[in-house]
Structure 1
Amino acid sequence: MVGHVNMMDDVLISNLPPEYLRSALRVLIAQGSATQQPFVQHIRERLQDTKPEFVPFKVLFPVADELTEEATRYLALTRCLFSSKLVQLSLPYLSHFVEALRGAHASWTVGSELHQALVGFAGDIVQAIQALKEVGLTEDDKLEYQLVMLHAKLKECRYYCETYEPGALDYPFQRSQRQVADVLRILNSRALGETDDDSPPQLDITVGQAAETFALGPFEVPRIFNGFWQLSSPAWGAGSASSHDTALTRLVEKGWSAADMADHYGDAELVYGHFRNRLPPQVKDKVFAATKWCIFKPIGLEVTDEWVLEAVKERCRRLGGRVELLQFHWYDYEAKEYLDILVKLVALTKTHPELVSAIGLCNFDSAHVEEACEYLLSKTGAIGIVSNQIQFSVIDSRPLQRMCTVSKKYDLKLLTYGSFCGGFLSSRWLDQHSPEMYSASSHLTPSQRKYLGMIYDWGTWDNFQELLHKLSAIAEKHGVSLTNVAIRWVLQKPQVGAVIVGTRLGVTTHDEDNLAVFDFELDHDDIQAIDKISLGDENERALELFGKLGDCGNEYRKMH
């Protein structure tokens, strides 16, 4: 019976604390589209029926350098709009909040609660515009007008910050302004103007020497990549444009000169391109950009040379230059267009080396890595692709079943993510109780909830504690951290080229600790001791996980 709620359930809903309600909702939504879609649709309908108010400027910012409850509530409702895919509806609310800063003559100091909220709001704008791109951009005069207005308000706010008396304010919206300008360029908006981006100062830095490198296509690259997935959402914290520059400078000077990103990681390509294009030529040539072309649904058109070339050019435009490695993800192996797309991508590395240098795969399983390589051989006489990006850790050992063997056969390197298990593979979790996956008090990020689920697919929390203790003992033997041992285990597996380290740019840094992974090697006894717990005495734990989840990347195709 539609609309009926059991009386006792209704009593529960009416009396549960908000934290319990949020936890319960996360549990329900995690069950899949049958619960997720009605939830989002209900929220959309409520927001459209009773739209949030445009709070007066002076109510949002009544006094200097103070984050008010009204501002916090306004930001929360605005996030609800774009997170429920009501992106266009959210644009005037974003503009209003930016305009309110100038209208209320607001001021802030760097690091204050208000300043941190503004930096987070900059991340909200980035995420909202990314959501707009993902729902599809079409020629729409109203949409273009709203974007132009948002862009204008950001520029006005920048001028306000620069001319504020008695001293200039930190402008927190550089990321936002770049992201909005980027979508206006996609729409070919004439309102953007030629002088939108000021010429930022050049960065005078040098590239440090990586401790270990490997050959990837025509390049010699570090065995640790900086991963920018966290830029896709403020859920991991938000850094300002200047803090991004500081963090990237530090990483490159330590030899971490390779970065992994994607077309759907928020403004990651723009952030890295903005940084890379201010480096001296001799430094810029040593900085490596790996990004992705991810297709999550039917393309609905013929695969042509021109279409593939335009997709590559779009990524080059956002990076402001060449893509050293373009990694390709495909949503459904039954739709065989991906094979011809790969042929055309590989051809572009020969005909347009100024745009793209090498082609890789992303989250392909073993059978379809083999299918792609054989197809390329039959059509071009060469394999042409150089890598596959997959999840690989002491918890998720699926690549050891087939992927490592297939990759060796075709001389592909594996670029691994999830090797830290969202931070669970650290001493912080040693002798700790299992966190409640959906409780707000656990303070888990979306990635950590994913990897906690992976731990339970692999074994029990007690099994995990046994593994942490073994890693800790081996770490003590080598004088390194538990995390170093977990990463070294992956790096010493066949065909692994590099581990991708999730980098929360401008928020936290662990580069010094991670560099220690190159100060030692695991010996035979170390590996045997880890494998006994990680894989099982007779490989039974690894085989059970493979049987439960399928081969590498299978979980992502179940999402589409």
Structure 2
Amino acid sequence: MAGHVNMMDDYLIANLPPPILRSALRLLISQGAITQKPFVEHVRARFRENPPTLRVFSTLFTGNDGVTSECSAYVAQIRCMFSCKMSEESIPHLEQFVNAIYSRRVSWSETSEVAKLLTSFDGDIVQAIQALKETDPPPTAELLITLNNFLASLKNCAEYCSAAQPRLRFPFARGRQQLQDAIRFLFPQQRSTSLPPTPPEPESEELASLPGEIRQAAVETFRLGPFEVPRLFNGLWQLSSASWGSATTTDQERALTHAAKCGLTAADMADHYGDAELVYGVFRNKFSKHSQTTVFAATKWCVFSPIPKPVTAAWVSDAVCERSRRLKGRVELLQFHWYDYTQKEYLDVLAELVLLTKTCPTTVSAIGLCNFDSAHLAEACEHLIARFGEVGLVSNQVQFSLVDARPLRRMTETCEKYGLKLLTYGTLCGGFLSERWLDKPAPEPYSESNRLTPSQRKYLDTIHHWAPWHTFQALLTHLSSLAAAHSVSVSSVAARWVLQQPAVGAVIVGARLGVSEDHADDNVRTFGFRLSGEEMGRLNEIALGAEGGRMKGVFERLGDCGREYRNVH
């Protein structure tokens, strides 16, 4: 259906510089499904009207250590395809790119533009295959052939890299692992016939000796179910999109190893965070069997739409086992998210999950919630008490920061009543609660000159719900003075404030594994001090406002914890 477009608007669109046009599009699709859905549908329709063609190998790579403009354009085209829900159609193009590498006998140095492109393309493969898994396509013979052909292409590329002189690093290890996982997920009957057995991860000498190197004394811990865990988790949300950049498996493992040596041995992830579960599963399985107990995996089961079948013990068990398979072992904490509280099946799912912790503790050991509000957290707890005589849940993961203190309205009291701990994300507001933004003007969220990450756009919106930018600057100024007094960073003070709130077990701090600066050492400094009563009181005056006015305002605009993530009737 064609809609009227103002002539001057049409003329404006025709003449806008591309960066401003992209900024305008980001603004429009941020308004929600009413604009985002037709945008994606329109792009997909145009691609299907004029399907992209496979590029000739010689146009992609010249064989030297450079990237052609044709190659960059082809990669951009592939990214558009899987991003507009044409993931299955994008696979032959992904395969063609990989085929070109060994067919053209491309070589590269690790600091070259080619190496950077290949690392980024590895992330693209991860995202394309993740998009395919999330669409849950029919397991047709044609799809299996397509996936196996792509896997064979990656195998050929790995053999080419191994035989090259000098030897080349195989650049698509993450993508290959994600593809193998997709075949196992979409074609479970093919697991023993279609794929070669996955070799066990070799124990790393560095990781085998890690327990003796962990700086446990420097890290505060708390009890979460049967485990004693750090009060700061490494968050792996950034693996859910290549928008944050991509890193090699070596760089990712190096970042995780350093965090573990600092005592930060717990990670938070989800089934839809790209290949996060696979990355962490490979990492922890490089420990010796004895040492694997020193690392803690918290993942999620997120139900975003109506479930396709009745809740049964077998269906719930299959979902848990799928996450255990990707993690290559026990799920220490499984956090459950539900899309619509009016659909009460979630209570039956939670009951089955709690039962599994009793009957299969080596598969899943503890159950938590994710983005539940206070009323429905209480409803779930009361249901489980009536069923089992105990709560059976250990945590709820919610957003909590100096500029979003909604948990203090009801959530902390409810958690204390039922004995749950809060795991908090957004505590650093995507990096806004740091020295970097002190004395800086408010960024335009969709301008390319600011290069805000997706999470920063989200948290900038939270800041605007909280107070004007000048008030946020006053908060940063006060945090900076406290940071100087305690010889720590602004981020450490912001995290410390949350850690000293009732019912809070741990804060979750995002880790862009191998992509950007490693903050593990700075994160540990959060445990080296406490804010005094006077310091907490002054921060509360700014953060919560007079008589809690700012906190109440955010609560009224956004609703209780997690309201923004589900449909509540």
TM-score normalised by the chain length of structure 2: 0.96
Specify the alignment match of 1:163 in structure 2.
163
Name the structure 2 match of 1:245: 253
Equivalent in 453, 456, 461 of residue 453 of structure 1? 461
1:146 equivalent in alignment to 2:154 = no
Matched, 1:314 2:322: yes
Mean CA deviation greater in 189-198 or 452-461:
189-198
1:71 aligned to 2:80? no
* Aligned residues of 1:148 and 1:191 also touching (Cα < 8 A): no
What pairs up with 1:285-434 in 2 under 5 angstroms?
285-434=293-442
* Range moving further from structure 2, 55-64 or 420-429: 55-64
Alpha-carbon distance in structure 2 between the residues aligned to 1:33 and 1:289: 33
In structure 2, the residue matched to 1:209 is 215
Aligned equivalents of 2:201 and 2:480: distance in 1? 49
Q: Which residue of 2 aligns with 1:35?
A: 35
Aligned-partner residue type, residue 13 of structure 2 = I
Q: Given that residues 201 and 286 in structure 2 are in contact (C-alpha distance below 8 angstroms), is that contact kept between their aligned partners in structure 1?
A: no
Alignment correspondent of 2:89: 89
Cα pair 1:227 1:501 within 8 Å, conserved = yes
* Alignment partners' CA distance in 2, 1:89 and 1:156: 22
**AA aligned opposite 2:362:** E
Partner of 2:522: 513
Residue ranges of structure 2 left out of the alignment (5+ in a row): none
1:266 to 269, 274, 296: 274
Alpha-carbon offset, residue 340 of structure 1: 0.9
Aligned counterpart, 1:443: 451
Tell me how far apart the structure 1 counterparts of residues 201 and 528 of structure 2 sit (CA, whole Å): 41
User: How many Å separate the matches in 1 of 2:537 and 2:204?
Assistant: 50
Shift of 1:203: 4.3
**SS at the partner of 2:529?**
coil
What is the deviation of 1:71? 1.0
**What residue ranges of structure 1 are gaps of 5+ in the alignment?**
none
- Whole-Å separation in 1 of the counterparts to 2:414 and 2:11: 56
Among 526, 547, 557, which residue is 2:535 paired with? 526
Q: Percent of aligned pairs with the same residue? A: 53
One-letter amino acid of the counterpart of residue 526, structure 1: E
Query: Shift of the alpha carbon at 1:4?
Result: 2.7
Counterparts of 1:492-507 in structure 2 under 5 Å?
Answer: 492-507=500-515
Residue of structure 2 equivalent to 1:15: 15
Instruction: Indicate yes or no: 2:552 matched with 1:553.
Output: no
Matched residue, 2:482:
474
Give SS of 1:278's match. coil
Q: How far apart, in 2, do the equivalents of 1:248 and 1:282 lie?
A: 18
Partner amino acid for 1:209?
Answer: R
CA distance in 2, matches of 1:494, 1:232: 30
Tell me if the contact between 2:433 and 2:476 (Cα under 8 Å) persists in the aligned partners.
Answer: yes
1:559 Cα deviation from its structure 2 partner: 10
Contact 1:423/1:448 (8 A) holds in 2:
yes
8 A Cα contact 2:423 2:506, kept in partner: yes
Q: Distance in 2 between matches of 1:38 and 1:323?
A: 38
Aligned residues: 559
**Cα offset, 1:368, TM superposition:** 0.5
How far is the alpha carbon of 1:308 from its aligned partner? 0.7
Q: Report the secondary structure of 2:368's partner residue.
A: strand
Q: Aligned pair 1:283/2:283, yes or no?
A: no
1:246 deviates by 1.1
Post-superposition shift, 1:463?
0.9
In the aligned structure 2, how far is the partner of 1:197 from the partner of 1:51?
Answer: 39
Using the TM superposition, give the Cα deviation of residue 31 of structure 1 relative to its aligned residue in structure 2, in angstroms. Answer: 1.1
After superposition, what is the alpha-carbon deviation per residue over 1:139-162, rounded to whole angstroms, capped at 9, x for unaligned? 211111111111111111011101
Q: Which moved more, 1:54-63 or 1:195-204?
A: 195-204
The aligned amino acid for 2:379 is E
Query: What is the deviation of 1:282?
Result: 2.2
Does the C-alpha gap of structure 1 residues 283 and 201 become closer, same or farther in structure 2, counting only changes over 3 Å?
closer
Q: Secondary structure at the match of 2:110?
A: coil
1:536 aligns to what?
545
Contact 1:181 1:192 in 2 (8 A): no
1:193 counterpart = 2:201: no
SS in 1 for 2:204: coil
Deviation at 1:196, TM superposition (A): 4.9
Structure 1 residues 345-354 or 244-253, which shifts more?
A: 244-253
Matched to 2:194, the amino acid is: L
Contact kept, 8 Å, 1:204 with 1:280, in 2: the verdict is no
How far is 1:326 from its partner?
Answer: 0.5
Deviations 1:104-130 (A, max 9, x none): 111111132211111111111111111
How big is each residue's C-alpha offset from its partner over 1:469-513, in whole Å with a ceiling of 9 and x where there is no partner?
A: 111111111111111110000000001000111011111211111
- Give the letter for the 1:20 counterpart: I
Contact 2:161 2:168 in 1 (8 A): yes
- The residue matched to 1:281 in structure 2 has which SS? coil
Partner of 1:172: 171
In structure 2, the partner of 1:135 is 135
What SS does the aligned partner of 2:456 have?
Answer: helix
Give the C-alpha shift of residue 2 in structure 1: 2.8
CA deviation profile, 1:81-139 (whole Å, cap 9, x unmatched): 00000111101000000110011111111132211111111111111111111111322
**Contact persistence 2:29–2:35 (CA under 8 A):** yes
Aligned mates of 2:12, 2:193 — CA distance in 1? 53
- Displacement of 1:172 in angstroms is 1.1
The DSSP-based 3-state class of the residue aligned with 2:246 is coil
How far apart are the structure 2 equivalents of 1:386 and 1:305?
21
CA contact (8 A) 2:342 2:568 kept: no
**1:530 Cα deviation (Å)?**
0.8
Aligned partners of 2:232 and 2:506 also within 8 Å = yes
2:234 pairs, out of 226, 235, 238, with 226
